[in-house]
């Protein structure tokens, strides 16, 4: 009996929704109002077929406004961290505090390597390349005012490990 009453109440509530002003939208959000008034939403758009060209054209975002990805919204200071990973099970972590920092990490033909880069200062530079390495754990820590770090670590065909700074 309790299940029947609950089901009846749910059906009654659903039937009253259109009368209360709540309507269902389609699969795509066309326009947001109310609590979303200050936000910009990325809405999927369909390509518009050009009359002259056979290639579809995609309309740009709202004219005059630049839409920033959420992960880039709080960033600043012209920091740049680049990672190239070719291999399997490699992990790279890069953190930059300050401004004008540049960090490049490349792992080529690597397996299960772990690399961490921490730059705490301004205008710091680091370049690290691991080639044919397996299971290495490398940490680069650059405090304020430290010299640039340029390092190549490669496993040679004879099994030796080359470390060039």
Position 27 confidence tier, pLDDT thresholds 50, 70, 90: low
Candidate from 13-17, 41-45, 52-56, 136-140 with smallest mean pLDDT: 41-45
Position 20 confidence tier, pLDDT thresholds 50, 70, 90: very low
Give CA 150 to chain center in angstroms. Answer: 26
Nearest to 107 by CA among 96, 93, 120, 118: 93
**Mean pLDDT of the chain, nearest integer:** 74
Phi, psi of 84 (to 5 degrees): -120, 120
Averaged pLDDT, 150-154: 95
pLDDT higher at 32 or 106: 106
Position 78 confidence tier, pLDDT thresholds 50, 70, 90: confident
Residue 121 burial (CB count, 10 A): 16
Residue 126 burial (CB count, 10 A): 23
pTM of the model: 0.55
The pLDDT value recorded for residue 68 is 47
The proportion of the chain whose per-residue pLDDT surpasses 70, expressed as a percent, equals 54
Q: Residue 120 and residue 97: Cα distance in Å, rounded? A: 5
Q: Residue 82 and residue 67: Cα distance in Å, rounded? A: 22
- Tracing tokens 């880039």 back to the chain, one arrives at 72
Q: Residue 26 and residue 35: Cα distance in Å, rounded? A: 19
Measured at the CA of 91, the angle between CA 89 and CA 96, to 5 degrees, comes to: 165
């Amino acid at each position: 009996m309790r299940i029947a009453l609950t089901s009846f109440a749910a059906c009654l509530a659903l039937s009253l929704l259109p009368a209360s002003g709540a309507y269902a939208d389609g699969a795509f959000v066309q326009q947001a109002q109310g609590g979303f008034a200050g936000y910009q939403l990325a809405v999927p758009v369909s390509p518009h077929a050009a009359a002259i060209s056979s290639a579809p054209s995609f309309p740009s975002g709202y004219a005059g406004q630049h839409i920033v990805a959420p992960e880039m919204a709080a960033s600043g200071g012209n920091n740049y961290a680049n990672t190239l990973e070719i291999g399997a099970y490699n992990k790279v972590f890069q953190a930059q505090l300050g401004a004008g920092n540049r960090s490049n990490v490349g792992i080529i033909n690597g397996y299960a390597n772990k690399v961490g880069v921490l730059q705490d200062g301004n205008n710091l530079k680091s370049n690290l390349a691991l080639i044919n390495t397996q299971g290495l754990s490398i940490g680069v820590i650059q405090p304020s005012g430290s010299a640039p770090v340029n390092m190549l670590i490669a496993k040679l065909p004879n099994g030796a490990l080359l470390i060039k700074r």
